[in-house]
Amino acid sequence: MGLLVYAIRYAISYGRSIEMEVEKRHKLQLFYEIICAIEDDIDHNKVARPTHIQHNCRLSYDKMMNHFIELEHKYMIYCVILPD
């Protein structure tokens, strides 16, 4: 652990950034994560809330909503608006 801390401090002190390679997720993987997040949120809270799904899937709100629309068009999910 000490060597890693040293390497990070060295890179920061010389103005270099450490770039972590982030692998892009395929659309099918995203759909699976969204559906699992919905199922998990319903199990815990009886309702799936968009913010919980967003945080669980690590998506921006705009991208998540685009995926929701696509999943609704494929009849994989549906939206129910509950009264207050």
Of the listed ranges 23-32, 34-43, 48-57, 75-84, the least confidently predicted one is: 75-84
DSSP code for 80: -
SS (H, E, C) 11-70: HHHCCCCCCCCCCCCCHHHHHHHHHHHHHHHHHHHCCCCHHHHHHHHCCCHHHHHHHHHH
* Number of domains the chain is built from: 1
Question: Do the domain assignments include residue 16?
Answer: no
Tell me the residue range of the domain where 32 lies: 22-84
Q: Examine the pLDDT at 35 and tell me if it is beyond 90.
A: yes
What value does the mean pLDDT take over residues 53-58?
A: 95
Residue 20, phi then psi, degrees to nearest 5:
-90, 130
Question: Do the domain assignments include residue 15?
Answer: no
Residues 67, 26: contact at Cβ < 8 Å? no
Question: Do the domain assignments include residue 9?
Answer: no
Provide the whole-model pTM.
Answer: 0.70
Question: Do the domain assignments include residue 8?
Answer: no
pLDDT for res 77: 93
What value does the mean pLDDT take over residues 61-71?
A: 95
Question: Do the domain assignments include residue 64?
Answer: yes
What value does the mean pLDDT take over residues 56-80?
A: 94
Question: Do the domain assignments include residue 68?
Answer: yes
Task: Report the CATH number at residue 39.
Answer: 1.10.10
Q: Examine the pLDDT at 65 and tell me if it is beyond 80.
A: yes
